[in-house]
Chains A and B, each alone.
Chain A
């Protein structure tokens, strides 16, 4: 299977041909994929060098002249390093952009913590007005990239990962999809953790929601699910644990509820190795999820089959 990032340059290159308003801004990372597009649209495919503050500032300037910038690099360098530019040059200026990250929380464990960004979505959550797409499959990534580019002058973050589910699902870029229904709680799985969540909840009487767009948070979708399955909610997110816990609590503020936020731990693991080893270390593998979800919603009558 190709990766989400493998889709990025071809899809956006095609959109560059179709949409004269579109521009791409890079800081060296990812430029090979845009070699042909850069030749065809040299004024609209821009590489500013290893300069991430300029990357965001320049994107804001492009937007202020009426263009739709798509900005790409690793999440650490796209959101965390130039965070004040994201906050001011885009947010405060009232300028829009599509930020497309790679590397996610730990796509390259052997690369170490410098290239890990489990806090990116939580950090964007301190800002107003961002749409956050977290695709779980290359097909979904392609769909959500198209949504993001077409979203007027909105501020959109698309979080690409090499971690993916086996099959893509229909996503409309806004709402949760109900994958399973049950009566003893709701498990909301975000992006690439869906396969592990489905394995972990097999035989459990729970509703499984699948989210590829987490901001704006689909509060209505969650409320509909809890009306059937009750208000015990487990969030499983491929980034910092509990990132969407506030959104869940806000959605259910008028009813008694419990929330368990699972995801990447805040503590720095300080290990290299493989993605699978990191998933297990953060409790995001199917076996760990089974224990933690089962313990939360109660598994007494259901055999463990993971």
Chain B
């Protein structure tokens, strides 16, 4: 299981995605990638990943010259969907990713910031079901779709 970010928020605290995202995207893998808060709603969170030269994949291989590698997109979507679960639940509940599937529609445009929208469409006591879309400017022309599940590890979501 992929353990999730900081226990900087004590369990039980009302989860504020904008505040939490700003803190959680500063450290570790998300901080290194440069992931930032973008927007949120009742059961969704949007994070963004600005293009950077050292995040590029195989030249002429995985997408072509200057194209963002797919690893950073997986991380962006893992973080955005993870936060959407706490947003829907209303509180910070420690959890772990059980599985994540990413469908790549097309290569991200070199130089463009990628926006990842994660949505929690169902919460049970211990399992959360998530989906998400990544795009680089036009939500109608996505870069990737994701679907997956998380499991609450230290007490129920509801």
Q: Are the chains A and B members of one assembly?
A: no
